[in-house]
Amino acid sequence: MKDQSNFIKTIMEEDLKSGKHDTIITRFPPEPNGFLHIGHARAIIINFELAKVFGGYTNLRFDDTNPETEDEMYVKAIKRDVEWLGYTPHGIYFASNYFDEMFERAVLLIKKGLAYVDDQTAEEIQKTRGDILTPGIESPYRNRSVEENLKLFYEMRDGKYKEGEKVLRAKIDMASPNMNMRDPVLYRISFAVHHNTKDKYKIYPMYDFAHPIEDAIEGITHSLCSLEFEDHRPLYDWVVRETEMPKVPRQIEFGRLGLKNTVMSKRFLKQLVTENLVDGWDDPRLPTIGGLRRKGYTKEAIRSFILATGLSKVNSEVEVDMLEAFVRDDLQAKAKRAFAVINPLKVTITNYPEDKIEYVDVPYHPDFDYGSRKIAFGRNIYIEKEDFSEVKPDNKYKRLSLGNEVRLFHTYFIKAYDVIKDENGEIIEVLATYDPETKSGSGFNSRKPDGTIHFVEASQAIKAQFNFYGPLLVGDDSKDLIERFNRDSLHIKYGFVENALKDVQLYDKFQFVRNGYFNTDHSKEDLLVFNETVALKSSYK
Ligand code: ATP
Ligand code: MG
């Protein structure tokens, strides 16, 4: 971000130059009602990186003004995700810490004749708002006296009225061309238990009233938010001005980030989780930060991707393939390489001694020093089913077939001479011979085998589960989201990995040679679990 120019950075530069501010303070303001997703990563990165460019700082502030949907669990997850992305907030705050001050500011508005208690129902308020062409209708309660409004507002605070019975509204302009200025609701009654303040408050401020005050209290200089708040900006400025906040933040909007064939709506993600259609908020199919992490994405890849999508004033929807390219780029240098056989086919090397196992020392990466591991070779091995064909289809075929020879990585040439089939005619075992003269590195290059394939030695192989993921959504967007959920988005395969991986740790990353990049998931008893992060090559055209 340091070297990129963008419209927000330009504004910040000007504000520093003109002396309007002497430092840049931003905030990331999630509502703790779900896990963060890749769209939030854009907001996080923009806020933290821009403040950093100018030596300023960024707060993490939980915008917790809706007790019905918020939860401590989300607070924890959000903190963890922000940290994981590599950002340390200057301070961690809660909107709910400011409820008393917000209340006092609302009282000030009432005293100034700029707010009133309305007894209309939510439906009535909605109905009388008018539309772009028609002005709204003023509430019959709009002209209550300051004294009456104060008394009613205090009573609302004290729990004297039922939910929905009364609200506090700003008194602005029911004919404003901006719908947000048509006497917006500032406070509502709710008896829900708040994750932070429990049952202390019976009334809660609305986002449009709370957010500018939160920003002003923290001395936020530039309040960056996504585009849907553009029409709310006049109200934002009105609240800061009329509540007489000493510090004046400026709201600036940027475009939201979306990914094709996936969805960022927290409501929908939550539905998938609560209906058990996915394995929690960090299911690798979800575009949540937790899901991407569990899939094996790195913060560096996410960050490079976000920076590459640029910062613009329009919403953008990007192909998943672009994100995957950054992941591949990053993992190509970071992931250790190892062998996994995902679709195992047994091969018996009949001229190799029964009880002999030999080992070769192989580095985990050809270009970086990640140490090495011992690869076992013996009479019984597994290869991929796809790497064998009874009949060699053509001369370009680069795998094993009857009567022909392949090289096994780092070990020997083997030649298949027979197959064993089950009652359905399916091949369950291949019989082969090896040539001891072809041992890795000992001058066998005059003979050209049909390609090189990977394998694992059977007696020492570790059982493994491999999870493959398809897109979260299928079909076109004329359909309902839940109908578009891809019920065939998880494919599980059982195979083997080489013995050296027996002590892998959660989230260890591997390139399984010829198979793809994988991330270690929570292991089960006697079974390691790996999630496919991304294929080795893009399938994108
Ligand atoms: P909801 O779906 O509940 O409205 P939200 O996705 O807007 O939620 P918030 O917790 O309010 O979630 O978001 C925190 C911040 O992240 C906001 O400033 C919002 O503008 C920003 N943000 C959310 N989604 C995106 C996105 N897809 N791209 C860029 N910024 C986003
Ligand atoms: Mg929001």
Phi, psi of 315 (to 5 degrees): -70, 145
In a domain, residue 540? The reply is: no
| Residue whose tokens read 């907030």 | 89
CATH number of residue 330's parent domain: 1.10.1160.10
Distance from the alpha carbon of residue 464 to the mean position of ligand 1, in angstroms: 38
Say whether both 320 and 399 belong to one domain.
no
461 in Cβ contact with 501 (< 8 Å): no
Query: Is residue 2 one of the residues assigned to a domain?
Result: no
Domain closes at, from 199, 224, 254: 254
Distance 247 CA to ligand 2 centre (A): 24
Radius of gyration of the chain (CA): 31
Q: Decide: 38 and 302 in contact? Cβ < 8 Å.
A: yes
Whether the CB of 264 sits within 6 Å of ligand 1: yes
Residue 91 belongs to a domain: yes
Question: Which has the closest alpha carbon to 182: 195, 192, 169, 193?
Answer: 169
Last residue of a domain, one of 334, 365, 382: 334
Domain edge (last residue) among 215, 236, 254: 254
Q: Is the CB of 211 under 6 A from ligand 1?
A: no
Domain boundaries, position 527? 336-534
Looking at the structure of the chain, the number of domains it has is 3
Q: Tell me the ligand closest to 230's alpha carbon.
A: 1
**pLDDT tens per residue, the chain (541 residues)?**
777 779 999 999 999 999 999 999 999 999 999 999 999 999 999 999 999 999 999 999 999 999 999 999 999 999 999 999 999 999 999 999 999 999 999 999 999 999 999 999 999 999 999 999 999 999 999 999 999 999 999 999 999 999 999 999 999 999 999 999 999 999 999 999 999 999 999 999 999 999 999 999 999 999 999 999 999 999 999 999 999 999 999 999 999 999 998 889 999 999 999 999 999 999 999 999 999 999 999 999 999 999 999 888 899 999 999 999 999 999 999 999 999 999 999 999 999 999 999 999 999 999 999 999 999 999 999 999 999 999 999 999 999 999 999 999 999 999 999 999 999 999 999 999 999 999 875 555 678 899 999 999 999 999 999 999 999 999 888 888 889 999 999 999 999 999 999 999 999 999 999 999 999 999 998 999 999 999 998 765 4
CATH number, residue 14: 3.40.50.620
Are 154 and 181 in a shared domain?
A: yes
Enzyme catalytic residues: 31, 256, 266
The closest residue, in CA terms, to atom 9 on ligand 1 is 30
Residues 397 and 514 in one domain: yes
Looking at 283-319, list the stretches that DSSP marks H as alpha helix, in order from N- to C-terminal side.
289-295, 299-308
In this structure, the answer to whether residues 113 and 60 fall within a common structural domain is: yes
One domain, residues 98 and 53:
yes
Asked, for residue 541, whether it belongs to a domain, the answer is no
Whether residue 194 is found in the same domain as residue 92: yes
User: Is residue 370 a part of any domain in this protein?
Assistant: yes
- 104 with 155, same domain: the answer is yes
> Amino acid letter at 353?
P
Query: Does 539 reside within a domain?
Result: no
- Answer yes or no: is the C-beta of 78 below 6 A from any ligand 1 atom: no
61, 29 Cβ separation under 8 angstroms: yes
Ligand 1 centroid from CA 38, angstroms = 10
Q: Is the pTM of this model over 0.75?
A: yes
Check whether residue 18 and residue 129 sit in a common domain. yes
Beta-carbon contacts of 400 under 8 Å, excluding residues fewer than 6 positions away, are 347, 383, 387, 388, 389, 406, 414, 416, 430, 432, 450, 453
Q: Are residues 168 and 291 in the same domain?
A: no
Query: In whole angstroms, what is the distance from residue 85 CA to residue 303 CA?
Result: 8
Q: Which residues pair with 358 in a beta bridge?
A: 377
Residues 242 and 270 in one domain: no
Q: Does residue 210 have its Cβ closer than 6 Å to ligand 1?
A: no
CATH number at residue 453: 2.40.240.10
What element of type H or E holds 25?
A: strand 25-28
In a domain, 458, yes or no: yes
Which mutation among 37, 40, 254, 292 tests ligand 1's pocket best, with the greatest number of atoms within 8 A of CB? 40
Residues 297 and 320 in one domain: yes
Residue 1 lies in a domain: no
Number of C-alpha atoms within 13 angstroms, CB side, residue 395?
A: 1
**Same-domain check for residues 40 and 187:** yes
